[in-house]
Amino acid sequence: MPEARTHPYYDHAILIQFTIGVWSQEDLNHILGRYGVFIVERTGTDIDDALAALTPWRQNIWVIQQLIQNDVSSTKIRLFLKREMSVRYLVPAPVINVRLN
């Protein structure tokens, strides 16, 4: 039986952070070199530019293409909650319950 592996799953924003010096080289080697990541595309971003800066780890970065436009973000969810607007159909109920408790 093949060995099961765990890979982090990130929004495109973390990919941008990887390329602008927010993460140390040691962290990048550990996360991208040892584990790899799945990155979800987001409308309006150029993921190819970010990937170009991460060439040494490209074989461990899997991009999940966005087939349906979805611009929901944690920032927008926090803004909606701050304004006491509903996020019922934007995030799962357990997420809302954790946030409100």
- Does residue 58 share a domain with residue 17? yes
Q: Decide: helix, strand or coil at residue 35.
A: helix
> Is pTM, for the whole model, over 0.95?
no
For residue 99, the model assigns a pLDDT of 57
Residues 2 and 27 in one domain: yes
- Pick the residue with more confidence: 22 or 9? 22
Which domain does 8 fall in, by range? 1-68
**How many other CB atoms are found less than 10 A from the CB of residue 32?**
20
The CA distance from 40 to 80, in Å, is 22
Write out pLDDT tens, residues 14-28. Answer: 878 888 888 899 999
Dist. CA 83–CA 92, nearest whole Å: 19
Would you say how long the chain is, in residues? 101
| 88 and 61 in a common domain | no
Asked if the model's pLDDT at residue 47 lies above 70, the reply is yes
pLDDT of residue 75: 85
Residues 54 and 89 in one domain: no
